[in-house]
A = this chain, B = another copy of it.
Amino acid sequence: MDITAHMHQLGRQARAASRAMARADTATRNRALALIAAAIERDADSLRAANQKDLETAQAAGLAPALMDRLALSDSAIATMVAGLRQIATLPDPVGEISNMKVRPSGIQVGQMRVPLGVIGIIYEARPNVTVDAAGLCIKSGNAAILRGGSEAIHCNRALATLVAEGLAGAGLPQDAVQVVDTVDRAAVGAMITMPEYVDVIVPRGGKGLIARLMKESTVPMIKHLDGICHVYIDDKADVEKALAVAFNAKCHRYGTCNTMETLLVARGIAPTVLPRLAALYATQEVELRADPEAREILAGYPHLAAATEEDWTTEYLAPILAVKVVADMDEAIDHITAYSSKHTEAIITEDYTRAMRFLREVDSASVMVNASTRFADGFEYGLGAEIGISNDKLHARGPVGLEGLTSLKYVVFGHGEVRQ
C-alpha cells in the first residue's frame, strides 16, 4: 500500500465529510453520539475480545506494564467511555453561536460566529478510550476527525471505528466524519502532518519525543500538550493550613498526571514553620524530597531527603518525588518559574492581595492559581465538560481544550445594501 496516497484519500474523504458535519444540526450530532454509545454497550463483548488480541500481542512483544495498563479495556473503562459520550451529548452546542455583535457607523452589523475548525487529526498512544473520547468531541463540535492511535491497540480501534461509523450512519451523517487510520505503518503519521490541504489542526497526545518530532516536521498547525512541570509557591503571607493542604494535595493526590506539582518553592520567612509540618505529611507517603541547601538544613532528619541538582528543576517526576527550594520572596519565585516552568500550571499560596494579583498577572502559564491545588487544571474541573488535551501553546487554545478549542470564530456581517465610501 502506498501510505501517502492512502492518507491523502482519507484526507479527501475527511474534508468532504467535514462540510456535512458543519451543516448538521445539533440534534443530529447528538443523536450520533447516543447511537455510538448504545452500539458500544451492545458490543462490549466483542470489543473486549478485540482488546484481548491486542493485549496478547503486546505482552508477547514485552510492552511495559504501565502501557499494558493503558491498553486494557476493562468493563469500567467501557462504561466510562459510554458515559463520556452521553455527557458530551448533554453539553451546549458551541457551533453557530454569534457573539460581539456591534452596529458600525457604516450601518453594517458585525459579529463573530463560532464554527468548526474542519478536520482534526489526532495522534495518540495505545489508549482505546481516546479513540471514543476524541470521536465524541469532534462530532459534537461539528468537525471531521482522522484518528491515529498507537499500533498496539489496532484490533480494538478497528472494532471501535466500526461502531462509530454505525452511529454516524444511523444519524444520517457521513461515516467518513470519523476515520481511524487502519495501518501500523509509522509513515501514516508523517503523511498526516504534511497535508494541510486536508487537515486543519493536529492534536498530538503522547510523549515529548513524539511531539518534538512533529514540531519539526509538521506543516499543519498543532495544539500541543507538552510536559507539566508545575510549581506551588508558598508565600510568607500564606495561611499555613491552606499551604499544607494544597502542597500535600498537589503532590500526592495523583503522581502520574501532568498537573501534579513537581517543584515546591517556599519563602524564606515561612520555610522554618511550614517545611517541617509538610515533611511530616509527605513522610506518610514516603515522598522523596530533593532540596536545595537551605531547605535541606530545615528538613534535616527527613528520611527521604536528597540534594537537588540543576536537573531536578526541569524534571517531570510523575512519581512520589518533589523538588524543594527556599526563595527570598515572590519575585525570586516568579523568576524561578519563568526559568524552569513548562508553562502548564502554577499556584501561589498567600493572603496578600497585591501579591496574589501580581502572581496571576505576571506568571506566564496556561493556568495560574491562588490558594488552590494545581490538580484542578483539568477540563472537567474548569467546567468545560470534556477535554481533548491540555495545551501548553499560547496561540489559539491555552490550558484544558474542550469543545470551544475545536472551533474558531469567523466574522459575520449583516448588511442592508451598504457599500464602502
Q: Select from chain B the residue with minimum beta-carbon distance to A253.
A: B420
B399:A411 contact, CB within 8 angstroms: yes
Residues facing B in A88-119 (CB within 8 A) are 96, 102, 104, 106, 108, 110, 113, 115, 117-118
B-side contacts of A371, CB under 8 Å: 414-418
CB of A23 closer than 8 Å to a CB of B: yes
Given contacts A382-B110, A396-B395, A400-B411, contact A418 B23 (CB under 8 A): no
Q: Which of A263-271, A299-307, A373-381 contacts B (4 or more CB under 8 A)?
A: A373-381
CA A64 to CA B152, docked complex, whole Å: 59
- Nearest CB in chain B: distance from A17 CB, A: 13
Q: Which of A26-34, A41-49, A75-83, A362-370 contacts B (4 or more CB under 8 A)?
A: A362-370
The contact string, 1 if C-beta is below 8 Å from chain B, for chain A 237-250, is 00101100110111
A23, A117, A415: residue with the most chain B Cβ atoms closer than 10 Å: A415
A113:B361 contact, CB within 8 angstroms: yes
CA A156 to CA B362, docked complex, whole Å: 35
Q: Select from chain B the residue with minimum beta-carbon distance to A254.
A: B420
CB of A19 closer than 8 Å to a CB of B: yes
- Nearest CB in chain B: distance from A114 CB, A: 11
Q: Which of A121-129, A168-176, A215-223, A290-298 contacts B (4 or more CB under 8 A)?
A: A215-223
Question: What is the predominant secondary structure among interface residues of chain A facing chain B?
Answer: mixed
CB of A22 closer than 8 Å to a CB of B: yes
B394:A398 contact, CB within 8 angstroms: no
The contact string, 1 if C-beta is below 8 Å from chain B, for chain A 309-342, is 0000000000000000000000000000010000
Contact of A418 among B364, B376, B412 (CB under 8 A): B376
B411:A23 contact, CB within 8 angstroms: no
B412:A368 contact, CB within 8 angstroms: yes
CA A104 to CA B380, docked complex, whole Å: 10
B-side contacts of A215, CB under 8 Å: 196, 219
B-side contacts of A208, CB under 8 Å: none
Contact of A369 among B253, B382, B399, B415 (CB under 8 A): B415
Q: Select from chain B the residue with minimum beta-carbon distance to A407.
A: B394
A381:B113 contact, CB within 8 angstroms: no
B-side contacts of A219, CB under 8 Å: 215-216
A409:B413 contact, CB within 8 angstroms: no
CB of A182 closer than 8 Å to a CB of B: no
Counting from the closest, the 6 A-B pairs by CB-CB distance are A372-B415, A242-B417, A249-B419, A369-B413, A375-B420, A371-B415
Given contacts A200-B395, A249-B420, A371-B417, 20 further A-B contacts (CB under 8 A): A19-B338, A19-B362, A19-B364, A106-B376, A110-B383, A113-B360, A216-B219, A221-B393, A242-B416, A246-B418, A248-B419, A347-B415, A368-B413, A369-B415, A371-B418, A372-B415, A375-B419, A396-B408, A398-B408, A399-B411
